[in-house]
Chains A and B, each alone.
Chain A
Amino acid sequence: MSVPFQPLAVSAFTATSALGQGLDKQLAAFAGPFGGLRPNDFSSVPLDCWIGRVDGVEDAALPAAHAVWECRNNRLAWMGLRQDRFLEHALDARQRYGAARVALVLGTSTASIGATEEAYRQLDSEGRMPAALRRPLIHAPHSLSGFVAEALGLEGPCLTISTACSSSAKVFASAERMIRLGLADAAVVGGVDTLCDSVLFGFNALELMSPEPCRPFDQGRRGISIGEAAGFALLERTEAAPRTPRLLGYGESSDAHHMSSPHPDGLGAELALRDALARAGLQADQVDYINLHGTASLKNDEVEAALISRAFPASTRASSSKGYTGHTLGAAGIVEAAFALLAIEHGLIPGNYGCATPDAMCGPHFALATEHQRVNVALSNSFGFGGNNACLAFGSAPA
């Protein structure tokens, strides 16, 4: 038996990035506009690049009861959970539905590998991790979800999705399926990725890092800037929250092309987009805004700009927000979903910060400066290594 797709209410959401803690800080940056990137002051040895670092993570200790989960990534998760009253909303859902009826699905690319890196820098004379870091839970990729499940007291299905840069977009799809099949009544979804040596030196080794703040879709773009972020959303059936924006659909696909570069014709990206539109029952001309993946890598932006040009009429507005935040990797999906939701709630299209002269592949869709217009339907694209693609469709509540 097939259960038809029903839109879900996004009854609460939040984002914390280099722009600051909580949604107001993100909105203020779009209005400014100002970006959150700074010269790299994070890596264990110097590396010439720009990063999107969240201030104050080091000082945001976990409550003592959760000390076994202490690491920088979980500190950012804890900081993110406490913005926009998200923690209260999540605990209220637990109260209303019961702890076992609220699923938790979080995306992360590197989880708390920063703590493993730190332990390897401090090995003792026997080659073991230092005692303070000898905590198995934080040296596993499920660390983030394990901590959040404990912090929120959730006992429903609990899953970490780790598909590189599409991780925290795909969480919406998994959660929707669980609710549709009756395995849960609500879901906390989200994602957190923090800066770490692995990604800074890894993308450096791949020669994908920009020596200047990243400039998505600019003709002169020189690569990506890496950022960190945390974001969360609460999904419920629409009866529970009839006035809030909705998850209308999603699409998922695989490029089947290459581990670290996108399909040259955007094949997988287009499949995910068509899947999302079909599931949401939308035509392309009904889409008001698309938050693009737009990493500022040469290849991604070229392929994605071509896809937007061939799939959408000029009335659809598009921009990348990675010039503000940097590429937050496994957290990009949720943070950019939050930006799409902000676009709907505030009638605001974030300008494509960092782009002065658009690439020749860019059509008339690009909002270089922040624009104000009604947004009923917004999409968010997320594409990851391994050719893993996701596209989310959100819409306003019916009038």
Chain B
Amino acid sequence: MSILHVHLEGVGLWSAALGDFAALQAQLEGAGVTPPPARPPAVRLPANERRRAPESVLLAVEVAGQAVDMSGRAASDLLCVFSSAYGDQLISDYLCSVLAQAPTELSPTRFHNSVHNAPAGYWTIATDCHAASSAITAGTASFGAGLLEAATLCLAEQRPVLLVCSDIVGNGPLLEMSNTHAAFGCALVMSPQAGPDTLWRLALSLQPHAGGSLHPGPPTGAWHEANPTSASAWPLMQNLARGDGECMLAAAETLALRAVLEKSA
């Protein structure tokens, strides 16, 4: 079984309580953390876009910008993979509500913002990135499948890759289905080679037929269980904050992704 080795150069993070990766590190060290504003600043977007961009775009662009800033790389050089279990649930709720009542009154802007690749589109426009960009989903395995896709892209193309995984809070009748009560986003910049800016080395390998071990245990009430991306990304995020560690992530229904993290020497 092949092992994928990638070198991490940047990480971005956003939740209601944690405004960036440094806040997570501080929290794990027991320091007090000031919660970020409700709306992600998403400073990589031009001001006019920032005002009207949908929430899913603000969240994705915010964590993407943090990770790229930390890596010191030019955003325009990065291949990118945007992963989300549900896309923009607020727009889906809006679309389905309007369609049920007055379909011809649908907003054209909200419609074109409803595509799953809206964050990828806004990001590549804002950063003048002409490289390949993708938008993917894999249900509750969206984080692990996104990590696998990004690492595969990084090694097959031998180019640095930006991975962004995010899900906003749901709304309306759809919320009962998505069960997404908290917003969470995280991002990684990875490179195929170790370099002076490498912060961690990550080794990924597939563990097939993992079955039931991938399914979450009984809910504990922890905040990260209220979002499909944070629920699945949390073990790796904690390892990143600690500096090393090993975890199993779901990459598909019965396929596990073993992720071994080491601090760069």
Residues of A bordering B, CB below 8 Å: 2-3, 43-45, 47, 99-100, 109, 113, 116-117, 119-121, 123, 127-129, 134-137, 139-142, 145-146, 149-150, 155-164, 170, 173-174, 177-178, 180-183, 197-198, 201-207, 252-260, 267-268, 271, 384-388
- Taking a contact as CB atoms closer than 8 A, the residue among B106, B115, B176 that contacts A385 in the complex is B115
Contacts of B141 in A (CB 8 A): 158
Query: 21 A-B Cβ contacts within 8 A?
Result: A3-B155, A45-B104, A116-B92, A129-B176, A136-B177, A139-B174, A142-B85, A142-B139, A155-B253, A160-B137, A162-B116, A162-B137, A164-B115, A182-B1, A183-B2, A201-B104, A204-B104, A254-B124, A259-B113, A387-B121, A388-B121
> For chains A and B in complex, what number of residue pairs have CB atoms within 8 angstroms?
237
| Nearest 6 Cβ contacts at the A-B interface | A386-B121, A100-B208, A252-B132, A162-B116, A202-B111, A120-B96
On chain A, the residues within 8 Å of B209 by CB distance are 100, 155
Complex interface: chain A residues within 8 A of B56 (CB): none
**Residue in B86, B106, B122, B133 whose CB lies within 8 Å of A202:** B106
Q: Are A181 and B145 in contact (CB under 8 A)?
A: no
Contact of B252 among A47, A113, A155, A174 (CB under 8 A): A155
- CB neighbours of B115 from chain A (8 A): 109, 162-164, 384-386
Chain A residues whose C-beta falls within 8 Å of the C-beta of B233 in the assembled complex: none
Q: Is the CB of A260 within 8 A of B158?
A: no
- Residue B77 lies at the interface, judged by CB distance under 8 Å to chain A: no
- Contact residues of B with A, CB < 8 Å? 1-2, 4, 85-87, 92, 95-97, 99-100, 103-104, 106-108, 111-118, 120-122, 124-125, 127-139, 141-142, 145, 148-149, 152-153, 155-158, 172-174, 176-179, 206, 208-209, 251-255
Distance of A387 Cα from B121 Cα, bound (Å): 6
Task: Give the residues in chain A near B106, CB-CB below 8 Å.
Answer: 201-202, 204-205
| B contact residues around A260 at 8 Å (CB) | 112
12 additional contacts, CB 8 Å, given A161-B134, A203-B111, A252-B132? A100-B206, A116-B92, A141-B116, A146-B139, A158-B145, A159-B136, A159-B138, A202-B106, A202-B114, A254-B121, A254-B124, A255-B125
Contacts of B252 in A (CB 8 A): 149, 155-158
Task: List B contacts of A178 (CB < 8 A).
Answer: 152
| Cβ–Cβ < 8 Å partners of B4 in chain A | 181
CB distance from A259 to the nearest CB of B (A): 5
Contacts of A128 in B (CB 8 A): 173, 176
CB < 8 Å: which of B125, B134, B251 contacts A157? B251
B156 and A181 within 8 A (CB)? yes
How far is A177 from B154 in the complex, measured between Cα atoms in Å? 10
